[in-house]
Structure 1
Amino acid sequence: METGKRIRQLRKAKNMTILELATSVGSDVGNISRLERGVQGFTEQLLVKISAALGVKVADLFTEEELGIDPVDKTVNTEVKSYVVAVLDAKASAGNGVAVFNEVDETISSIIYENDKAMEIFGHRPAESMRVITVVGDSMSGTIETGDNIFVDISKDYFDGDGIYVFKFKGSLMVKRLQFTADGLLVRSDNPKYADWLIREENEKYLKVLGRVIYTHSVTRYV
């Protein structure tokens, strides 16, 4: 079995999410997800941290033998209603665009809200319509910073009036403001260093709206 698949097997046997494993080893969910899928390499130091987090020996990451792993206790009070938002292994560019290869990105974790808090943030939008994506780049700086999480209403997969959208244009995934004009859709960045540009009618075939941004969450790192 490939090492990445083995790590995923051991993680699931321990009832850990990718987010929990990433936090335990001082990494991020994107790196761990790519490692598990075999699209990213790993260092000896990282394997030592992962094995410690999973409660196994490093050698166990390279074997298919069944191991006695004590699962993490995740008893949940089923009486507490919750609103679960899926976090995608995707990055939307607030810059010049990030190439997109997969139409559907993998769900790597989730964020859970109590219903009262969810109503305050999301209104009556169903959780099934919401996705969380990480932003890279500074073109929306002042409103959305690189590393911030954006909450996207994927039911709005069309232009629904002026606002901030996640969209694909010529194969690149972007987060920008879209504004209707008589000449076409104006693509605007909140950072004045970036020039506006226009999607004219003849180029709309290259545009695919994936959702409308309804909420942002700033992530501040100190280490």
Structure 2
Amino acid sequence: MLNTWQNIVKNKMRMLGETQESLAEKLNVTQGSIAHWLSGGRKPDTDIISSIMKTLEINKIIINSDGSASENITPNEFNNDNFYIEVLDITSYSGKGYIDSDVMQVIKLVKYDLDQAKIIFKRINASDLKIINIASDSMQGTFDSGDAIYVDVSKKEFIGDGIYVFTFGQCLYVKRLQKIKNKLIVISDNKKYKEWDISEDEVDQLNIHRKVMLSQSMLLRKHG
């Protein structure tokens, strides 16, 4: 039998003497919702999973490709047996909430076979890679809402045209940045969104957090 994230939560609840009713009260949801989530009958939003883990003091959960899960594994480099990439909790990283955001909050680890990781990620260290889930259609055509993007957290400044995760003012963005003369042009690949620019006297409001390296589609299509 696979050890799923639900099983990890149930085991931690037993250790803490937590019931579905008491957990529901702490999360301000119904006991029925807890029952559905833990039975696998209904998939909770990612922020709910995050809240459950924080309430039960579960640090991280690895979700493997076969649906199995394990708890509290530290990300490893290429010289270890496996290659783990952390899925970013963007709110915890930034230390603040944002009025608007192009990303969703998720907390878990994704495990890759070492040989597979070398092909996909070349020589990028696992410690420099994070995964973020997109919650906006502003980059539709390049990636869609719900897709996972792999970002290099060592890239914290503009290093040439590309797609970046950045904050400007009180908003968090995943957009294409292009340098034209003395301005940065902010481009949404979805053409229904207009371009805008960041001038030299506004650059103090810009904070670049990471550069987007790869993306993975989460879109399910029915074929019959």
Q: TM-score, normalised by structure 2?
A: 0.63
Task: Please give the alpha-carbon distance, in whole angstroms, between the structure 2 residues aligned to 1:216 and 1:99.
Answer: 14
| One-letter identity of the residue aligned with 1:41 | N
Offset of 1:13 from its aligned partner?
A: 6.6
Provide the residue aligned with 1:187 in structure 2: 186
The count of residues paired between Structure 1 and Structure 2 equals 168
Offset of 1:212 from its aligned partner?
A: 0.4
The superposition leaves residues 95-137 of structure 1 with CA deviations (integer Å, 9 ceiling, x where unpaired) of x94299xxxx987211111122112221111100111111111
Task: Please give the alpha-carbon distance, in whole angstroms, between the structure 2 residues aligned to 1:130 and 1:145.
Answer: 20
Percent identity of paired positions between Structure 1 and Structure 2:
33
Offset of 1:175 from its aligned partner?
A: 0.4
Offset of 1:171 from its aligned partner?
A: 2.1
Q: Tell me if structure 1 keeps the 8 A contact 2:164–2:208.
A: yes
Match of 1:49 among 36, 51, 54: 36
Q: Tell me if structure 2 keeps the 8 A contact 1:99–1:171.
A: no
Task: Please give the alpha-carbon distance, in whole angstroms, between the structure 2 residues aligned to 1:98 and 1:106.
Answer: 10
Offset of 1:184 from its aligned partner?
A: 1.1
Q: Tell me if structure 1 keeps the 8 A contact 2:176–2:188.
A: yes
Offset of 1:89 from its aligned partner?
A: 2.7
Query: Structure 1's 198 and 11: CA in aligned 2 closer, same or farther, altered over 3 A?
Result: farther
Query: Structure 1's 137 and 151: CA in aligned 2 closer, same or farther, altered over 3 A?
Result: same
Q: Which SS does the other structure have where 1:132 is aligned?
A: strand
Q: Tell me if structure 1 keeps the 8 A contact 2:106–2:133.
A: no
| One-letter identity of the residue aligned with 2:205 | Y
Task: Please give the alpha-carbon distance, in whole angstroms, between the structure 1 residues aligned to 2:160 and 2:14.
Answer: 46
Q: Tell me if structure 2 keeps the 8 A contact 1:135–1:147.
A: yes
Task: Please give the alpha-carbon distance, in whole angstroms, between the structure 2 residues aligned to 1:150 and 1:158.
Answer: 18
Offset of 1:49 from its aligned partner?
A: 2.6
Provide the residue aligned with 2:195 in structure 1: 196
5+ residue gaps, structure 2, are 1-6, 16-22, 41-67, 71-79, 92-98
| One-letter identity of the residue aligned with 2:84 | V
5+ residue gaps, structure 1, are 1-6, 16-34, 54-71, 75-79
The superposition leaves residues 69-109 of structure 1 with CA deviations (integer Å, 9 ceiling, x where unpaired) of xxx996xxxxx811100012338xxxx94299xxxx98721
Provide the residue aligned with 1:98 in structure 2: 101
Q: Which SS does the other structure have where 2:107 is aligned?
A: strand
Higher alpha-carbon deviation: 41-50 or 204-213 = 41-50
RMSD, aligned CA: 3.7
Q: Tell me if structure 2 keeps the 8 A contact 1:83–1:112.
A: yes
Provide the residue aligned with 2:152 in structure 1: 153
| One-letter identity of the residue aligned with 1:45 | G
Q: Tell me if structure 2 keeps the 8 A contact 1:86–1:107.
A: no
Task: Please give the alpha-carbon distance, in whole angstroms, between the structure 2 residues aligned to 1:112 and 1:73.
Answer: 10
Task: Please give the alpha-carbon distance, in whole angstroms, between the structure 1 residues aligned to 2:197 and 2:69.
Answer: 53
Provide the residue aligned with 2:140 in structure 1: 141
Provide the residue aligned with 1:124 in structure 2: 123
Task: Please give the alpha-carbon distance, in whole angstroms, between the structure 2 residues aligned to 1:73 and 1:133.
Answer: 19
Q: TM-score, normalised by structure 1?
A: 0.64
| One-letter identity of the residue aligned with 1:204 | V
Offset of 1:173 from its aligned partner?
A: 1.1
Q: Which SS does the other structure have where 1:175 is aligned?
A: strand
Query: Structure 1's 73 and 111: CA in aligned 2 closer, same or farther, altered over 3 A?
Result: closer
